[in-house]
Homo-oligomer: A and B are copies of this chain.
Amino acid sequence: MEAHNEQAAWFTFEVVARDGRARAGRFLTPHGVLETPVFAPVGTQATVKAVTPAQLEEIGVTLVLANTYHLYLRPGHQVIAELGGLHRFMAWNGPILTDSGGFQVFSLAAMREIDDDGVTFRSHLDGSLHRLTPEKAIQIQEHLGADIIMALDECPPPYDRAYNEAALRRTHAWAERSLKAHTRKDQALFGIVQGGVFPDLREASARFIASLGFPGHAIGGLSVGETKAEMYAMLDVVTAVLPEDKPRYLMGVGTPEDIVEAVRRGVDMFDCVQPTRLARHGAAMLYFGGRLNLRRAEFTRDPRPIDASCDCYTCRHFSRAYLRHLITAKEMLAGTLISIHNIYTLVRLVRDMRQAILEGRLEAWLQVWYARREAQTASSGKGSSSSSR
């Protein structure tokens, strides 16, 4: 625990304003201050797909996530360490967050066998055999050198009570081992709350994880198949327990609606692959939720931008007709331009919410947001937008 206490000098989290349960904060990292709430695009293989760091900066991105599983397998954490760490490697000088690798082992690896000590898996790239333990996950992340790193956890199916109980014991034991293994003072190690859709497990998990003294807390295992009502209920339980003076990070979320509902419940950090993944499939995200499928023929001669109220690079310069042309012609620029818009949309959303919190008008902001969301949904029946779920 000493190491952690020394870390605290770097990773001060200051709540600068509250509005209801929502907070606007400032989280100090060695690579800059994160103003929260914050949305992080995902740079799985040390690149946010199709977007340069300069473009990320222009979008207003402040935090980027990279995946430990992928970088461990290729090019290898030691190679990245040799080259000066992840920041230099991917030329992103702002804060970086790495996950523990666990989620990808469970979802991507060719084979995985979990035990109380860790998990054995085969690479999805070449079938080679590997072993990940809490200690190893920390060691890899120390080599990568992100500002914020994650404890290894297990993310079970949300509705299986027995599985969740067993997984929670493991996740908690691994959290303690992760803290012990962590040596770098310039990294904040976050513990992860699990517990499926079970309020009592979630509450117990939040209490236990909070008791360990992490400089920040993540909420895992949500947006993995449960209903929105269940997700929000779990957020209510967990945010009521987690300490106010540490940042709260909802992993793998998400859609504008989920971000809105989580911020109002006091969540500070988000990441999601959706903006870039949808972009590569020709779908533009909308500020009030829902999407435009730009592949559709109705956009062939549409001179409008994706969103007339958006001032991202893409919306300031390009028509839906041009974007549809790029998609149809299989041009890489489609992925770049739509990714820029989609990431911007979520960055803009959390920035607008932060401003509303700072000015104590979040409730009014939410009313307007939901009213315009409904208006959009109503018009999309006969128009061009489609709901996201």
Contacts and interface: CB of A to CB of B under 8 A. Distances in A.
B83 A50 contact: no
A210 to B, nearest CB: 37
B321 A75 contact: yes
A84 interface: yes
A184 interface: no
Given A79-B300, A83-B322, 14 more contacts: A45-B326, A45-B329, A47-B331, A50-B336, A52-B336, A52-B337, A70-B329, A74-B325, A75-B325, A83-B301, A91-B322, A332-B332, A332-B335, A332-B336
Given A332-B335, A335-B332, A91 B52 contact: no
A49 B328 contact: no
A145 to B, nearest CB: 15
Interface residues of A, number: 40
Contacts of A46: 322, 325
A232 to B, nearest CB: 35
A46 B323 CA distance: 11
Given A52-B313, A84-B303, A313-B54, A331 B45 contact: yes
Contact of A47 (B52, B54, B326): B326
Contacts of A59: none
A260 interface: no
A262 to B, nearest CB: 30
A51 interface: yes
A333 interface: yes
Interface in A329-348: 329, 331-333, 335-337
A169 interface: no
A223 to B, nearest CB: 25
A75 B89 CA distance: 39
Contacts of A333: 47, 49-52
Contacts of A62: none
A229 B300 CA distance: 47
A83 B90 CA distance: 38
Interface string A75-94: 10001001110000111000
Contacts of A322: 46, 83, 89-91
A51 B303 CA distance: 22
Interface in A298-319: 300-301, 303, 313, 317-319
